[in-house]
Structure 1
Amino acid sequence: MAQVTLSVNGRPYVVGCEDGQEAHLTELARLFDAQVRQVSQDVGQLGETRLFLMAALLLADELADLRGRHAGLQSEHARLQAEAGGIESRATAALEAAARRIEKLAGA
């Protein structure tokens, strides 16, 4: 297991992670640090625990919004796929009907 030192709100935190995940964890900590710093700028220093809680809640809210948007997009994608299937079926039927008429005309 690897260890990485992360900096959040100017303080170092040593955390463990799976080998090879150090860069990913460092990037996550960078995102969290940016949120913590933004909260600190917006409302002032609340104490580290409250500051971290506010930042985590804002990130959780953003995540919930993104999950909702993702679910909506998945529904729209499924609807469009079903619609495309119907269009494809109608196009196939029209082509088959045209082919039958052409064959009928050619045989006459």
Structure 2
Amino acid sequence: MGQVKVSINDRSYTVACGDGEEAHVRELAGHINKHVTGLAQEVGQVGDARLLLMAGLMIADELSEALQRTKMLEQELESLSSQRASAADRTREAEDSLADVLDDAARRIEDLARRIEAA
């Protein structure tokens, strides 16, 4: 199992993680640190626990918005897929109709050709 040292609000923490996940944990800690640092600049040093709580709430809000956006995009994708299937059905119907018209035209042309040969 790997371990990573991360820094949040100028304090170092050692965090255990799975082997190979070190870079990802550092990236996540950097995201948290960005929020904590921004909050500390806005509200001052109100204690690590409160800063981490506020940062956690901000990150949870980001996640909530991302999940809502994902749900909207999934619904839009479902709608577009349905529209695509409907359009494909209409295209097949139009192709079938056109094939019928062409078959009818071919029969007429063959009939005319027979009449001309017979005359």
Same fold at TM > 0.5: yes
The runs of 5 or more residues in structure 1 that have no matched partner are: none
In the superposition, the TM-score normalised over structure 2's length comes to: 0.88
Question: Per the alignment, in what secondary structure is the counterpart of residue 12 of structure 1?
Answer: strand
Whether 1:17 and 2:21 are equivalent positions in the alignment is no
1:87-106 alignment, distance < 5 Å? 87-106=87-106
Identity of aligned residues (%): 38
SS in 2 for 1:5: strand
User: Over the residues paired in the alignment, what is the CA RMSD in angstroms?
Assistant: 0.7
2:71 corresponds to 1:66: no
Letter aligned with residue 92 of structure 2: T
2:82 partner letter = A
Q: For residue 44 of structure 1, report the CA deviation from its aligned partner.
A: 1.2
Choose 1 or 2 for highest CA Rg.
2
**Structure 1 match to 2:33:** 33
Structure 2 residues not aligned, in runs of 5+ = 109-119
Measured in 2, the distance between the counterparts of 1:86 and 1:42 equals 53
Q: Distance in 1 between matches of 2:102 and 2:40?
A: 75
The alpha carbon displacement at 1:104 in A equals 1.1
TM-score normalised to structure 1 length: 0.97
Q: State the alpha-carbon separation in 1 of the partners of residues 41 and 106 from structure 2.
A: 80
How many residues get paired? Answer: 108
Please report how far the alpha carbon of residue 80 of structure 1 lies from its aligned counterpart in structure 2 after TM superposition.
0.8
Per the TM alignment, residue 22 of structure 1 is displaced from its structure 2 partner at its CA by 0.3
Match of residue 49 from structure 2:
49
In 2, Cα distance between the equivalents of 1:42 and 1:69?
A: 28
Aligned partner of 1:17: which letter? C
